[in-house]
Amino acid sequence: MSAHYARPVQLTEQILRGGYRTDTTRGRPALPLVPRLAKFIERKCSLGCHVWIGSRDHAGFPKFYLDRAHPQASPRRIIFALTYGAVPPVRIESKCKNKLCVRADHARAVFPRNGNGTWRTIT
């Protein structure tokens, strides 16, 4: 396993244990994780998607400030972990092909490329 995949696994394990830092709000009381995520989700899509209205990375994918150690966490990975348990070191992609969809049942985990250049779906 490469070091590239180690950090998301550690992140999801921390989330499931509730061990992520909440003292980074500069003196303001910190909201629990689920209400913080819910502030950035809009549920008004014709496909039933939960569209992320928060910040995005340079490629247009959703990003979420979890804490100082994880300033660019993936909300799709966090929601997938909260719904299904620990996320293996794989890519989490959307079945509906909407870049901004963070709905857990629209997400699937895929293994890295096979020898023929494809991704294997595991969920």
The Cα diameter of the chain in Å comes to: 52
More confident residue, 18 or 112: 112
Cβ neighbourhood burial of 2 (10 Å; 0-12, 13-18, 19+): exposed
Which sequence spans correspond to the domains of the chain? 3-110
Q: Is the pLDDT of residue 41 over 70?
A: yes
pLDDT of residue 52: 93
Round to whole Å and give the CA distance between 92 and 90. 6
**pTM, whole model, 2 decimals?**
0.70
Q: Are 77 and 85 in contact (CB under 8 A)?
A: no
Round to whole Å and give the CA distance between 121 and 90. 10
How many C-beta atoms lie closer than 10 Å to residue 60's C-beta? Answer: 8
Round to whole Å and give the CA distance between 73 and 20. 12
**Which amino acid is located at 85 in the chain?**
G
Q: Is the pLDDT of residue 6 over 60?
A: no
pLDDT of residue 14: 62
Percent of the chain with pLDDT over 90: 15
Round to whole Å and give the CA distance between 117 and 121. 13
56 has which bridge partners? 62
Q: How far lies 11's CA from each of 3, 17, 47, 97, 102, in Å?
A: 13, 10, 29, 24, 17
Look over the chain and give the mean of its residue pLDDT values, rounded to a whole number: 75
Round to whole Å and give the CA distance between 2 and 5. 6
* Least confident stretch, 17-21, 36-40, 117-121: 17-21
